[in-house]
Amino acid sequence: MTEPIIELRGIRRTYQTGADMAVDALRGIDLDILPGDFIAIRGQSGSGKTTLMNLIGCLDRPTDGTYRFAGRDISDFDGDALAALRRESFGFVFQSYNLLSHATAIENVEVPAIYAGVRQDERHRRAGELLSRLGLTDRLDHRPSQLSGGQQQRVAIARALMNGAHVILADEPTGALDSHSGDELMALLESLAREGHTVVLITHDPRVAARADIEIEMLDGEIVSVTNRREHESPVLPIDPTPGTRSNLIAESMESMRTAFRSLSTNVFRTFLTLLGIVIGVSAVVTNLAIGEGAQEQILNQYRGMGANSLTIWPEWRQRGRILFSDPGAIEDEIPNVTAVIPELGRDLYVLSGQNAHETRVTATTPNVPAMRDWPLASGVFFEQADSDDLTPVAVLGRTVVDEIFPDGSDPIGEYIVLKNVPFLVIGVMTRKGTSDRGNDRDDVVFVPLMTGAVRLFGSRSIQSMTVIVDDDEFLEATENDVRGLLVERHGREDFRLLNRTELIANRQEANATFALLLASVAGISLLVGGIGIMNIMLVSVTERTREIGIRMATGARQRDILVQFLIEATVVCGLGGALGLALGVALAGVASQFDVAVAYTVWPMVLSFGCAAAIGLVFGFAPARKAARLDPVVALASD
Ligand code: ADP
Ligand code: MG
């Protein structure tokens, strides 16, 4: 005598529909199902057939009564164990097919095997085999919408069979099919029963029911008649009553990733809007830090090579301060311990020669640059004080400018270049200084005499900055005080800023810290807004895809699988936002650099902001993912 695979005793199911309203969908069902039975359940609509089937398939739990599956009382089983039973022992076939609409036929069939931890090549092979066996060899890569009803239902059966399916549960599988497809499907179910699968079929078609071995009729939640026409012994499939716990996180993650991209690509615009907050946040960080770094580098480069024994002075713009043309000379003459003062007045201008043009930094300064900066000339001479006094239009070129303006390699000395419509005679070329350690080209420069530049090019009545080179840096502080005192005396007030190199760097770093804090708050707010957007859209997505979640649960997904899927989706969305933000940030910084803004890219803010974006996905995706994971499979399946 064969042991029943399913034993129901006194099963009741009561739906609580209101505070004091309840529907008794099942009122004490006793039923034994033997392995290999082909059972048809008949009854009017509302008689409890679907409720019974959901209980048998472990999608739902009875309010009362005991259910033994392969001899084990499943009331002891927790959610994961029930999911394992659904995955490994049951195969569901629904009236409305319930295929994942974005996935191809073969992908749909593979789903239960993913949750069972079957390797990709193995499950692909098996899914292909099943579909071929069901006559769908040439439909493997079709989506459900490209298949007829009969074909979709065969895909659903292949999916049910994917993990073995000791028990096939089919709820009105022919309900949506034409009679021909319906007959084919019945023949298929019959042959599966002959092979040893237990088939439980709900139908309200007496013609269909008549083909089953056992016909059960239900009315108002009770079994009213059982007709047994069974005349043969079916082969019995071996069954392992212990639900498996195998799982394959990588395979599931890959699947989740695919699902994520699929749902993203079906809602490109919506996804983009959702991402916007994150994109803005990340790109703000990247752009601003690139510009901030660039500015700092520029300043440092400017004073690099002058040694620690220098002071830099520039006007305090808040006081409309000015450095006078006579200030450098006065400092050199009156303050002891000063080697030299280098005033600078510069602007970016186009240098023209014949057909060639190049934009460069034109710096008006004094003749002591080659000596003080340890920067000899390659050919020709540097200008003299007299050139400045006479406003002589002469220029000394950096190597880069020579390469750009005289590309044929001709000697530029004695040639004329044009700056702001003024022809300047080239009298010297500097040796190559090379790029600074941070990548600035120090040879991209044209030097002109201080007053020539001030009057003929810039129309400026004061100096932009000056550097005081101190002879003995042991007395740096005293010299600093002397210089300050002299300038205050000359200007009548302290309308300038004076920093030594150490202070200069510290000052810059302080400004940077403030800047970074400001940025962090901008980025933080954008990312927070982005995160809320993600949460919102994920909640919408869970609602839209409730049915899909139900299908996944019916095919054996654990709560954890659903949770992970939605978390991965949220993380993928945010990661994508992070990547877009990064690209945008780099692009914006690139645009800024076209407008003469110094830019320097550093890696860590990029990594950090990208990481933050992904983390936001995890944090803000959690609530929606948990909501999805906690859905009741029956309710989820019934949603539309
Ligand atoms: P059938 O499949 O035979 O048409 P069902 O099992 O779907 O019947 O339903 C049996 C009874 O239980 C019906 O009266 C139905 O209204 C009720 N019912 C089914 N599902 C729910 C539910 N989730 N909440 C409340 N009542 C339900
Ligand atoms: Mg029903």
Answer yes or no: do 568 and 459 share one domain: no
- Helix/strand/coil for 357: strand
> What is the widest separation between alpha-carbon atoms in the chain?
123
Cβ of 163 less than 6 Å from ligand 1? no
Any domain includes 485: yes
Answer yes or no: do 242 and 290 share one domain: no
pLDDT one-digit tens code per residue, 246-258: 556 777 788 778 8
- Ligand 2 ion: nearby residues, β-carbon < 5 Å: 50
Asked whether residue 268 carries a pLDDT value surpassing 90, the answer given is no
Atom of ligand 1 nearest to the CA of 171: 2
State mean pLDDT over 28-41: 91
Any domain includes 590: yes
What does the alpha-carbon distance between residue 444 and residue 398 come to, in Å, rounded to a whole number? 6
- In percent, the amount of the chain with pLDDT more than 90 equals 46
pLDDT one-digit tens code per residue, 572-624: 888 888 899 889 988 888 888 887 777 777 787 778 878 888 888 899 999 99
What does the alpha-carbon distance between residue 450 and residue 463 come to, in Å, rounded to a whole number? 9
pLDDT of residue 49: 94
The average confidence (pLDDT) of the chain is 87
Answer yes or no: do 289 and 337 share one domain: no
Q: Which amino acid is at 51?
A: T
Task: Encode 507-568 in three state secondary structure.
Answer: HHHHHHHHHHHHHHHHHHHHHHHHHHHHHHHHHHHHHHCHHHHHHHHHCCCCHHHHHHHHHH
Instruction: Dig out the tokens for 502 from the structure.
Output: 């150490």
The count of other CB atoms within 10 Å of the CB of residue 88 is 22
Answer yes or no: do 150 and 279 share one domain: no
pLDDT of residue 262: 79
> What is the count of structural domains for the chain?
3
- How far away, in angstroms, is 331 Cα from ligand 2 center? 99
Task: Encode 165-195 in three state secondary structure.
Answer: CCEEEEECCCCCCCHHHHHHHHHHHHHHHHC
The ligand that comes nearest to the alpha carbon of residue 638 is 1
Atom of ligand 1 nearest to the CA of 52: 6
Any domain includes 426: yes
pLDDT one-digit tens code per residue, 165-222: 889 999 999 888 888 888 888 888 888 888 889 999 998 788 878 888 899 999 999 9
What does the alpha-carbon distance between residue 548 and residue 109 come to, in Å, rounded to a whole number? 14
pLDDT band at 312 (very low <50, low <70, confident <90, very high): confident
Answer yes or no: do 62 and 107 share one domain: yes
Answer yes or no: do 328 and 459 share one domain: yes
Any domain includes 419: yes
Asked whether residue 272 carries a pLDDT value surpassing 80, the answer given is yes
What does the angle CA 459 – CA 462 – CA 467 come to, to the nearest 5 degrees? Answer: 125
What does the alpha-carbon distance between residue 158 and residue 131 come to, in Å, rounded to a whole number? 6
State mean pLDDT over 519-547: 85
Asked whether residue 65 carries a pLDDT value surpassing 70, the answer given is yes
What does the alpha-carbon distance between residue 25 and residue 279 come to, in Å, rounded to a whole number? 52
Confirm if 464 and 344 have CB atoms less than 8 A apart.
yes
The ligand that comes nearest to the alpha carbon of residue 26 is 1
Any domain includes 208: yes
- How far away, in angstroms, is 93 Cα from ligand 2 center? 12
Answer yes or no: do 49 and 107 share one domain: yes
- Say which residues have a Cβ less than 8 Å from residue 343's Cβ, sequence separation at least 6: 323, 325, 327, 328, 365, 366, 450, 463, 465, 466
Last residue of a domain, one of 437, 472, 494: 494
Find the domain containing 19 and state its range: 6-247
pLDDT of residue 572: 87
Atom of ligand 1 nearest to the CA of 51: 6
State mean pLDDT over 33-46: 91
Asked whether residue 639 carries a pLDDT value surpassing 50, the answer given is yes
Answer yes or no: do 346 and 266 share one domain: no
601 or 338: which carries more pLDDT confidence? 338
Confirm if 112 and 247 have CB atoms less than 8 A apart.
no
Confirm if 276 and 534 have CB atoms less than 8 A apart.
no
CA-closest residue to ligand 1 atom 17: 25
Any domain includes 185: yes
Asked whether residue 245 carries a pLDDT value surpassing 60, the answer given is no
- Say which residues have a Cβ less than 8 Å from residue 25's Cβ, sequence separation at least 6: 13, 14, 15, 48, 51, 221
- Say which residues have a Cβ less than 8 Å from residue 1's Cβ, sequence separation at least 6: none
What does the alpha-carbon distance between residue 291 and residue 272 come to, in Å, rounded to a whole number? 26
CA-closest residue to ligand 1 atom 14: 46
pLDDT of residue 167: 94
Atom of ligand 1 nearest to the CA of 54: 6
Cβ of 45 less than 6 Å from ligand 1? yes
Answer yes or no: do 139 and 171 share one domain: yes
CA-closest residue to ligand 1 atom 10: 48
- How far away, in angstroms, is 43 Cα from ligand 1 center? 13
Cβ of 51 less than 6 Å from ligand 1? yes
CA 115 to chain centre: 25
Any domain includes 252: no
pLDDT of residue 199: 94
pLDDT band at 241 (very low <50, low <70, confident <90, very high): very low
Confirm if 301 and 438 have CB atoms less than 8 A apart.
yes
The pTM for the full model equals 0.68
Answer yes or no: do 60 and 100 share one domain: yes
Any domain includes 501: no
pLDDT of residue 203: 87
Answer yes or no: do 393 and 347 share one domain: yes
Answer yes or no: do 448 and 338 share one domain: yes
